[in-house]
Structure 1
Amino acid sequence: MKLGARILKTGIAIILALFLSQLLNLPAPVFAGIAAIFAIQPTIYRSYLSILEQLQANLIGAAVAIIFVLVFGNQIFIVGLAAVIVIIINLKLNSGNTIILSLVTVIAIMENQDGEFLQFALIRFFTIMLGILSAFIVNLVFLPPKYETKLYHKISTVAEDVFKWIRISTRHASDHSLLKNDVIRLKEQVIKLEQLYLMFKEEREYFKKDSYAKSRKLVVYRQMISTLKRSLDVLRRLNRFENEFHLMPSEFQMQIQEQLDCLVFQHEQLLLKFIGKIKTTVDYHESTTVSKKELLDMFLKQQDCLNEEHEACLYHMMPLVAAIIEYEEDIEHLYKLVNSFQNYHKDENEVSIPTSRVDE
């Protein structure tokens, strides 16, 4: 089990909220700790948005609670009715994520108390806001997320698995059922990759020149994910049409194997080139592969090489050949984007991906 940064930040936020509450001699500091739990977010930008949402939720809960206590009292039935009203208001404002905090505020203010009610309500409101602010400070200062590092390492890890299976499959050494299960797992990993990409996209840059580089990085990473999905599509088709591929002429199988070996090699080189692990002088065109037209012509010629019994295999090879061509086009586009990024940002914005992986 990994102890991620978000787990640590939640604990630190609770400690800070409780400490500040005790330092200010606020009654019931537990409400500050509860509010801090709800306010922890995976990115600094989301933390900023969360403060605005939580402030709104806290205000709604406090306003409804104060009005209900002043007008109807704080009997159990009234507390429940106030909670229903708060839920309805939050839903009307499309603030479903903050309903729980609003309810916590309602209960905190409407519980039995002694002394001046309005003063009590303001203290509880401030206590909850203190918890929210504590979480924001922790998000801003402690263990800021490094989503670019996590995104690149995740892309590399998934790509390595896909490359391994493509090489094994083209050599007829893969286990059909094992590969099928792994393809499903890899698809799930790609979905998580896209979520990480969104997290990285939400991170904000403080300087204008950095924002330009960030925009270019986003384009490159988006194409990395697109190219990875293409490679996974090739693998899925290799697995699906495994038997038909084995029945094709050996010359065709060898050509497909060589083509995919070259494409996988190019894909690997581009991932390493982006982070400066290989010489930037390495040329994409140094890898010798047949052109897309030559690959298509070779596929069409197979009709003369197959007997009637195996002629149906040719139709099943059409999706595989199409997937390989699309994969090659995505690699070509990725090559242009990586070169463009490195030419524009060679000195001022080098890509630095540490070898250690940060988990949250």
Structure 2
Amino acid sequence: MKLGARILKTGISIVLALFLAELLDVPSPVMAPIAAIFAVQPTIYRSYQSILEQVQGNFLGALIATVFYLLLGNHVVVIGLAAIIVITLNLKLKLGNSTGLALVTLVSIMYMPGDQFIQFAALRFGTIMLGVFSAFIVNLVFLPPRYENRLYHKISDTTEEIIRWIRLSTRNASDHTLLKTDIEKLKDTLLKIDLTYTMYKEERSYFKRDDAVKARKLVIYRQMISTARRALATLNRLHRFENEYLALPEKFQQSVQEQLDCLITLHEQVMLKFIGKVRPSAAAENPIQCLDKKEVFRMFISRQREYEEEDDNHLYHTMQIISAILDYDEHVEHLDTLVTSFLSYHKEDNEITVEETIE
């Protein structure tokens, strides 16, 4: 079982919140770690956003609790009504992420008030904010997330899995049922990769010079994801029209197989070139020569002419396979152009390390 960074940060945040609460001799110190649990975020930027929202949301919760208690008391029905008001106002002010902790603030103030209510409410609000700031400090100092490593390795691993299946499919060596299951899993994986990409995009650079480098990297990673999707679309077409593909003339099948072998080899090379495992000079000196897109299209047209007088649904399905291959080809070429351009300017700024433990 792997311990992710967020799990460790949550534990450290609880320890820090309790330590500070006890150090300051705060009554009911348990409120601080509860707030810290709510406030832990996956990125520093989100943690900063969370602080702004939590301050506003919890202040609103404390204010509503104070007003309702002074006017209506602390009957359970009053507490419920106050909670409804807090939720409504948080949603209206677009502070939905802070609603949970704002309700904790409200209930902790209203349910068991002290003798001096105003001071008690201020103390409870301060204790909860202590937990929020503890979580922010931990997120800022301890185990800062490195989403670039995580993003690249997720894309690379998913791409390798898709490529393996394409190789098997073009050779009629894949298990139909197992491949169908894996295609659905790969679709879900790509959705998760989109979330990781968003996390990486939200990371903030400490130096202005790094902004330009990151902007270009974001374009490349977006293209990597897009290219992996086109590879998966090609695999899906091969799987969906497996019988039609196998019914094609052997020479035509061989041409499709050779073109896909060339494309996936180039795709692999580009992914490795980006992290320095393939020298750009070596790739330029010995380029992988795939069929020109026009040649692939002519191949399909010639196939169509052979059967134009027959009612052959295979032509329609073959067209879908060919169109997916052409689309995949364009994305691989574009990715290669972006990576080559990036490495010519920022080779020293691209250090992908061994994949970190993923939370």
* TM-score tier after normalising by the smaller chain length: over 0.9
> After the TM superposition, which residues 147-158 of structure 1 pair with which residues of structure 2 at under 5 Å, given as runs?
147-158=147-158
User: Is 1:169 the counterpart of 2:169 in the alignment?
Assistant: yes
Equivalent-residue separation in structure 2 for 1:224 and 1:176 (angstroms): 27
1:321 aligns with 2:316: no
Task: Report sequence identity in percent.
Answer: 56
Whole-angstrom CA distance in 2 between matches of 1:307 and 1:330: 31
CA shift digits 1:233-285 (9 cap, x unpaired): 00000000100011101111000000000000000000000011111213367
Alpha-carbon deviation of 1:174? Answer: 0.9
Query: Are 1:10 and 2:6 counterparts?
Result: no
Question: Which ranges of structure 1 fall in alignment gaps of 5 or more residues?
Answer: none
Distance in 2 (alpha carbons) for counterparts of 1:12 and 1:158: 33
Map residues 192-341 of structure 1 onto 2, 5 A cutoff: 192-283=192-283, 286-306=287-307, 311-341=312-342
Structure 1 distance, partners of 2:111, 2:247, is 76
Letter of the structure 2 residue corresponding to residue 268 of structure 1 = E
Q: 1:353 maps to what in 2?
A: 352
Q: TM-score, normalising length from structure 1?
A: 0.96
Structure 2, unpaired ranges of 5+? none
Q: Report the AA paired with residue 290 of structure 1.
A: L
Equivalences for 1:22-33 in 2 at 5 Å? Answer: 22-33=22-33
Q: How does 1:79-90 map to 2 (within 5 A)?
A: 79-90=79-90
Residues 261-320 of structure 1, C-alpha deviation per residue, up to 9 Å, x if partnerless?
A: 000000000000001111121336721211111111111111354597783212210011
How large is the RMSD of aligned CA atoms in angstroms? Answer: 1.5
Q: Give the aligned length.
A: 358
Alpha-carbon distance in structure 2 between the residues aligned to 1:241 and 1:266: 25
1:71-101 Cα deviation digits (max 9, x unpaired): 2222322222211211121121122222111
Q: Partner residue of 1:185?
A: 185
CA 1:324–1:132 in 2, change beyond 3 Å: closer, same or farther?
same
Aligned 1:125-140 pairs, distance under 5 A: 125-140=125-140
Quick check: 2:39–2:50 contact (8 Å CA) kept in 1? yes
* TM value normalised by structure 2: 0.96
Is contact 2:153–2:355 with CA below 8 Å preserved after alignment?
A: no
What is the match of residue 344 of structure 1? 345
User: Shift in Å at residue 190 of structure 1?
Assistant: 0.5
Displacement of 1:339 after TM fit? 1.1
- Residue 74 of structure 2 aligns to a residue whose secondary structure is coil
TM superposition outliers: structure 1 runs of 4+ over 4 Å: 304-310
- Structure 1 stretch displaced more, 281-290 or 30-39: 281-290
SS at match of 2:347: coil
Alpha-carbon distance between aligned partners in 2 of 1:44 and 1:356, rounded to the nearest angstrom? 20
Structure-2 residue corresponding to 1:93: 93
Question: Which whole-Å CA distance do the structure 1 matches of 2:76 and 2:189 have between them?
Answer: 48
Q: Matched residue of 1:32: which SS? A: helix
Secondary structure of 1:353's counterpart equals coil
Q: Which moved more, 1:46-55 or 1:95-104?
A: 95-104
